[in-house]
Structure 1
Amino acid sequence: MTGRPSGAVRDWLVFDYGQVISLPQPPAAVAAMAELAGLPQATFDEGYWRHRDAYDAGWPADRYWSHVVGRPLPADDPLVAELDRADIASWSQLNPRTVELVTDLAADGHGLALLSNAPASIATAIDAADWAGVFHHRLFSCRLALIKPDPAIFAALLHRLGAPAHRVTFVDDRPENVQAAAEAGLTALRYPDVPLPTRR
């Protein structure tokens, strides 16, 4: 989505998705994925995270899950679709506090954007969600072929917003992403220690 909100927007609030808009993955959901993959929990976890940056940067699902399970999976293998659905569900539990905050900020006329490291399946699910409509721009690593904390992703964000860095406040839960955003000139805040404006 690339449209601008009505009226001139001078300042932007940009939110991460995982563990900011969404809650952390439930352990039971991760355990269910390990069971689907037929792997011990520790083995699954190691593969899931070791290859996640590449997946977030644009790897197709079959390539990612092949690396996770340790054997080739063709794109039409039902296991790929099952793991993808389970993965999406594991990241789909929303943080009601943050959702209420961004809804109120949008109602008050703030310019809002989302910048998330996410694979294509999760990006598509977010785009289809009703709550995501409050964001005037939604940028995902899989579509940019860039992942946080690469400085280039913040340059891409500023280009999309058409705003100078000092007009942009960025909120993320990971210290390395907050630091990279600050080094790019954005006002960078770590969630949940965020003194954000409340609705007037």
Structure 2
Amino acid sequence: MTDIQAVLFDYGMVLSGPAHPPVWAHMQQLTGLSPDAFDAAYWAPRRDYDRGALTGRAYWQAVSPASDAATIDLLIQADTDLWTQPNPPMLEWARALQHAGIRTGILSNLGDAMTEGVLSRFDFAAFHHRTWSYTVGHAKPEPQIYAHAVAGLATPAAHILFLDDREENIQGAQQAGLQTLLYTTHQAFEAEMHVRGLDSLLHPSR
């Protein structure tokens, strides 16, 4: 394994925790759609939102065309609430890496309103570079977005460890030349780091 000089984090389900079920139910009620219809409507235009083809308002108007402007505002706020449950052990590890002088970055599929909402809840200033998909016009697993993140970290791809919770995004990163680790639970993550002989990275010190 090539020496790791930087760690690149996905945001959702890596730095943050799972979606908050009560908020999902609240959004579904706001739209007036059935649970199945809301699930389908929520995900259908999501990629266009992530890639910046839709703004937050345009996305929610596509999801729930019958909603008025005030309800759209509530849905945008609730969507932030849905995806901003923290993942404390991973946030703590990121801080430990930064304290040890190891470069860190974020590479996330997020639309404009979601990014604004996330940044209102989390202070990511210590990360050396942050790639939000809507600003690039591409989303994982498209190769252009990995190239943007690698350039931002100013580190060769082969020396970057990328963490994501989706297999297709991991495969895209591998094709871009990054080292990768599929994140499921923090316990499994720590075990895999140990198996790979990366204990010094897992417990960094300056």
CA distance in 1, matches of 2:157, 2:148: 11
Secondary structure in 2 matching 1:93: coil
CA distance in 1, matches of 2:59, 2:123: 28
CA distance in 2, matches of 1:63, 1:147: 18
Secondary structure in 1 matching 2:131: strand
Query: 8 Å contact 2:105–2:149 — kept in the other structure?
Result: no
Q: Which residue of 2 aligns with 1:161?
A: 153
CA distance in 1, matches of 2:16, 2:22: 16
**TM-score (normalizing by structure 2):** 0.85
Query: 8 Å contact 2:130–2:149 — kept in the other structure?
Result: no
Deviation at 1:129, TM superposition (A): 4.0
**TM-score (normalizing by structure 1):** 0.88
Over 6 Å off, 4+ runs: none
Of 26, 40, 59, 1:64 maps to 59
Q: Which residue of 1 aligns with 2:18?
A: 24
Q: Structure 2 matches for 1:42-191, cutoff 5 A?
A: 42-58=36-52, 59-71=54-66, 77-191=69-183
Secondary structure in 2 matching 1:113: strand
CA distance in 1, matches of 2:167, 2:13: 13
Percent of pairs identical after alignment?
Answer: 34
Query: 8 Å contact 1:15–1:172 — kept in the other structure?
Result: yes
Secondary structure in 1 matching 2:124: helix
CA distance in 2, matches of 1:109, 1:125: 28
Q: Going by fraction, where is helix more abundant, 1 or 2? A: 2
- Partner deviation per Cα, 1:78-133 (whole Å, 9 max, x = no partner): 11111000000111110111111111111111101000001111212333445412
Deviation at 1:48, TM superposition (A): 0.5
Say yes or no: does 1:41 pair with 2:35.
Answer: yes
CA distance in 1, matches of 2:78, 2:135: 21
5+ residue gaps in structure 1?
A: 1-9
CA distance in 2, matches of 1:109, 1:117: 26
